[in-house]
Amino acid sequence: MEGQDHLNRGCNPTVLSKISSLPQFPELSKIREIRKKLDMSQRELAIRAGVSQSLIAKIESNNIDPSFNKVRRIFNAFDEEIRCRRIEGKELGEQLTVYDLATKGVITISQNHRIGEVVDRMMRDRFTQLPVMDGDRVVGAITDDRIRDYTIDETRSGNKTYDEVMETPVSEVMEHPFSILNDDTSIELASLHLQREEAVLVSRKGVIIGILTSADFLELGLGH
């Protein structure tokens, strides 16, 4: 868990409306994992995505920082492949699990962090949700929607000023923790959770090792 950062006093109410509009960049390491699970060659993926095979190879070997547009085209190609196979009644290859799609490593906050610090973190690292930890124990979750709703309710009612909201500890605002799924949980089961939660945490032998968000899930059209 990372140490407490200083609150950026330049934060203002317009920040809250911007958080949820941030683009959700897929983790590049997922490209090779998903391609293998779908039993696609680099050439097949390149044709589907309308990019060069060399680009796919460079991405998978971490030798290039591709544009967001090209990454989006690659993930859209996965989406198209999955949809086609479902329509044709074909197997999707080896069953995808939450581990395959999860972002490895989880950025967390403590319940003692202030809301202003959470907003700064979300803006800087392009997150829309964060797990809340007490030591190595997951005790809650905080989302951009929750922060926005809390800020509006408290300032409109006159209970708090905006600055006072930003000084509020996370423990007073956080919601119930995200569900925790074993790393070998199927995507089909995870979809049931992600229909009602913004994210699920992925664990292996009791240790949190990743997070799968609803945005990650929908990136491949798997929510349908």
Question: The domain spanning residue 149 has which CATH number?
Answer: 3.10.580.10
Domain containing 46 equals 40-88
Handedness of CA 194, 200, 206, 210 (dihedral sign): positive
Residues 207 and 136 in one domain: yes
Residues 124 and 195 in one domain: yes
Residues 83 and 107 in one domain: no
Handedness of CA 208, 37, 78, 91 (dihedral sign): negative
Q: Is residue 2 part of a domain?
A: no
Residues 84 and 119 in one domain: no
C-alpha closest to that of 202 among 183, 224, 215, 175: 183
pLDDT at 42 over 90: yes
CA geometry: angle at 219 spanning 73 and 193, to 5°?
A: 170
In this prediction, residue 181 carries a pLDDT of 94
Question: Cα separation of 218 and 165, whole Å?
Answer: 32
In this prediction, residue 16 carries a pLDDT of 45
CB-CB contact of 131 with 211 (8 Å): yes
pLDDT tens digits, one per residue of 123-179: 888 888 999 999 889 999 999 999 999 999 999 999 999 999 999 999 999 999 999
Residues 137 and 52 in one domain: no
Question: Could you tell me the two tokens for 87?
Answer: 């329509």
In this prediction, residue 132 carries a pLDDT of 95
Domain count, the chain: 2
